[in-house]
Amino acid sequence: MNWQAVLSIYRYEMNRTFRTLAQSIVSPVLSTVLYFVVFGTAIGQRIDTVDGIPYGAFIVPGLVMLTLLQQSVTNASFGIYFPKFIGTIYELLSAPISFIEIVIGYVGAAATKALMIAAIILITSTFFVDLTIAHPVFMIMFLVLTSVSFALMGFIIGIWAGNFEQLQLIPLLVITPLVFLGGAFYSITMLPPGWQAVSLFNPVVYLISGFRWSFFGLADVPVGLSILAISVFLAACLTAIWWIFRSGWRIKP
Amino acid sequence: MAAIISIQDLAKTYEGGFEALKGVSLEIEEGEILALLGPNGAGKTTLISIICGLVSPSSGSVSVGGHDILHAYRAAREMIGLVPQEITIEPFEKVINTVRFSRGLFGKRRDDAHIEKVLRALSLWDKRDSRNRELSGGMKRRVLIAKALSHEPRVLFLDEPTAGVDVTLRREMWELVRQLRAEGVTIILTTHYIEEAEEMADRIGVIDHGRLLLVEEKAKLLHQLGRKELVLELTEPLPELPSPLEGFELQRSEDGMRLVYEFDAHAESTGMTRLLGAVAEAKLSLKDLTTQQSSLEDVFLTLVEEGRTGK
C-alpha cells in the first residue's frame, strides 16, 4: 500500500474543503435552521409527538441523514469529477497507486467532510430541541457507514458523469426524494399500509430508521435489517468501483 | 549502455477501430535523450500514454527498468515523470502544494529541500504561494515540469514540451533538459519541431501512422541520409541550360543567376567533378560556389514520404 499517496490525496481534498470552509458550513447550518423553523415550529405545533418523541427532536436524525447523504455524494462526485474535467487525472493514472488507494483518499476525504457537517448540524439542533442519544456507539457507526457508502456512490457518479449537469442529476433527482420519502420527517408507521409496503423498497428508510433508533431506541424497521441494508449497499458500491478500475470505464481508453 | 525502457510489439487500437500504434518495438538507453518525431496524429502521445499508464495497450509489452508496466506497475511508474502535452493543472491550488501533492502521489516523503531545488531551477520559487490560475501559460507549463520532477524520476517524458512556448522559455527548457541528462535522467521528448530534435536529441525516432519508421543517432541519421547541395552563383543570368549541363538535373533559379546541384555526399561518385568539367565546357563564369548540408527536416520529410508510399 502506498499510504503516502493516500495521505496526499486526503490532505489535498481536505485542503480544498478548508479553502471553502465558510460556504461549506454556512449553507447546511442555514438550511437546518430553516427546517427547524418550518417543520419543527410550524408543523410541530400540530404534530405534538411521534411515538412519544417530541416532533422537533424526532426530525433531527432525518435532517442529519438528509445532509449527510447529500454531502457525501456531492463531495465525492465532485472530488473525482473535477480532475477528470480539468485533466489532472493523468497524474493519478500515472502514479504508482492502485485504485484502492485512490478510492480511500477521495472517499475518505468526502466522508470526513460530510461527517463534519453532520456534527455541526447535530450541534445546531441542540439549540432548538433537547436531544438524548440512547446508543452513541451505534449512532457513530451509522454515521460512518452511511457517509462512506454514499461517498462511494458519489465517486461512481463522478466517474460516470460526462458534464456538470449529470453530476447534479443523481443527488437532485434520486437522493433528495428518497430521503423525503424515507421517513425523515415522519414515521412510516403514520402512512397507510399500502404506502408503508412501498416505503420498504426505499433503502433510505433503513438508514433513517436505524439512525433514529440510535437516538431514541425506536425504529420503523428492525435495527439488524438497517445494518444489513447499509452493508449490502456498501458492498454493491465497492464492487462497482472495483469493476470500474478493472475495466478502465470512462477513465482509461 | 543498458536499455532502461524496452518496448516490444506495442499496438493500440482505440474503441471505434482507430489504430494508433501498429506494433512498435524500441529500446531506450539509460541516460540518453530520445526525440520522437512525427506529424500530428502519428502515435507519439499514445506511445507515451501507454508507458505512463494513461492508456491500456491492446497488445505487446513494455518494461521500465526491468519492471513490466502492467504487472509491476508500481515499480515501473515510480521511475517515471510525465509532462503532458496539454496544460492541465488544478487552478485554485497554490503552486507549492500542487508540486508537493505530486511527490506524495509517488509515495515519497515530503522533502521541502528537493521541492525548493526544483522550483528554483524552474524560476518558480518566487511564485510558490501563487494560485496556479494566476500564472501565465509559460509558468503553468513550468509547474507541470516541476510536478514531474518532484519525485526524482529516472525517466522523464516530455510530450511536446515547447508547443506554444516562447523562445526564451524554449531555450530555458532545453537548458534544463541538458542539465537533467547530466544528472543521469533519461529523457524522451516528442515533438513535431525538427529544430528541437536537432538541438536536443542523442537519438531520433521517426513515427508516422503508428509505425516507428526509424531510430538512429542524430549525427548518423544526418550523415546517412543527408543530402548536400552545390550552389553555383553566376555572374550573368543564364536564360537556359547550355547543352553540356543537360542531364545533371540542375535547378535553375527564376532570375537565372543560380544553379543548384543536389548530390549524395557519401556516394562513391558525387558527379561533382563531371559537373565542374561541364561548367567549364559551357564557359560559364562563376561568382561563388557553396555546398549546403540538408537539414533534419528534409530527412524527416523524405522518411515520412517513403513510409507512406511503402518504399
Residues B215 and B82 placed together within one structural domain of the fold: yes
CA distance A183 to B277: 104
Provide the number of structural domains found in chain A: 1
* Residue B306 included in any domain: no
Look at A90 and B84 and tell me if their CB atoms are within 8 Å.
Answer: yes
Q: What is the pLDDT of residues B70-91, one digit of tens each?
A: 999 999 999 999 999 888 999 9
Q: Where are the beta strands (DSSP E) in B85-244?
A: 155-159, 186-191, 203-208, 211-217, 227-234
Q: How far apart (Å, rounded) are the C-alpha atoms in residues B204 and B218?
A: 6
d(CA B213, CA B114) in angstroms, rounded, equals: 39
CATH code where residue B80 lies:
3.40.50.300
User: Which of these, B182, B179, B291, B159, lies nearest to B233 by C-alpha position?
Assistant: B291
Q: What are phi and psi of A60, to 5 degrees?
A: -55, -50
Residue B233 belongs to domain spanning: 227-293
Structural contact between residues B293 and B198, judged by C-beta atoms closer than 8 angstroms? no
Q: Which amino acid is at B232?
A: L
Higher pLDDT: A48 or A11? It is: A11
- CA triple A9-A68-A238, angle to 5 deg: 55
CA A252 centroid distance within chain: 28
User: What sign does the CA torsion over B116, B119, B125, B131 have?
Assistant: negative
Question: What is the distance in angstroms between the Cα of B261 and the nearest Cα belonging to chain A?
Answer: 50
Asked if A252's CB is within 8 angstroms of B56's CB, the reply is yes
Query: Would B298 be classed as within a structural domain?
Result: no
Using one digit for the tens of pLDDT, what is the confidence trace for B8-49?
Answer: 999 999 988 999 999 999 999 999 999 998 888 889 999 999
- In this structure, the answer to whether residues B214 and B234 fall within a common structural domain is no
In this complex, do B92 and A19 lie within 8 Å of one another by their Cβ atoms?
yes
Residues B87 and B192 in one domain: yes
> Among A11, A125, A76, which residue's Cα sits nearest to residue A241?
A76
3-class DSSP state for residue B14? coil
| Overall domain count for chain B | 2
* A5:B106 CB<8 A: yes
B191 touches chain A (CB under 8 A): no
Q: Residue B75 carries which DSSP code?
A: H
pLDDT at position A197 is: 86
Last residue of one domain, picked from the residues B198, B223, B248: B223
Distance in angstroms (rounded) separating the CA atoms of residues A99 and A250:
14
CA–CA distance, A71 with A148 (Å, rounded to integer) = 11
User: Does a structural domain hold residue A253?
Assistant: no
Question: Would you write out chain B's pLDDT as a tens digit for each of its 311 residues?
Answer: 579 999 999 999 998 899 999 999 999 999 999 999 888 888 999 999 999 999 999 999 999 999 999 999 999 999 999 999 888 999 999 999 999 999 999 999 999 999 999 999 888 999 999 999 999 888 999 999 999 999 999 999 999 887 777 888 888 888 889 999 999 999 999 987 777 888 889 999 989 899 998 898 988 877 666 678 889 999 989 888 888 888 888 888 888 899 988 887 767 788 888 888 888 888 888 999 888 776 666 777 777 777 777 65
Residue B311 lies in a domain: no
- Report chain A residues whose CB lies below 8 A from the CB of B80: 94
B59, β-bridge pairs: B11
Among B15, B106, B109, select the one facing A96 at the smallest CB separation: B106
d(CA A58, CA A56): 5
Q: Which domain holds residue A230?
A: 3-247
Contact indicator for A252, A89 with CB cutoff of 8 Å: no
Q: Which residues contact B169 (CB under 8 A, 6 or more apart)?
A: B138, B141, B142, B162
Residues B181 and B41 in one domain: yes
**B182 and B262 share a domain?**
no
Q: Are residues B199 and B55 in the same domain?
A: yes
Distance between alpha carbon A166 and the CA centroid of its chain, in Å? 18
CA distance A239 to chain B (A): 21
- B210 and B255 part of one domain: no
Residue with C-alpha cell 472517499? A107
Helix ranges (DSSP H) in A132-182 = 136-160, 164-170, 176-180
Provide, as residue numbers in chain B, all residues whose Cβ is less than 8 Å from the Cβ of A248.
56
* Other Cβ atoms closer than 10 A to B66: 13
- Report the residue from B14, B54, B56 with minimal CB separation from A94: B54
Tell me, yes or no, whether B303 lies in a domain: no
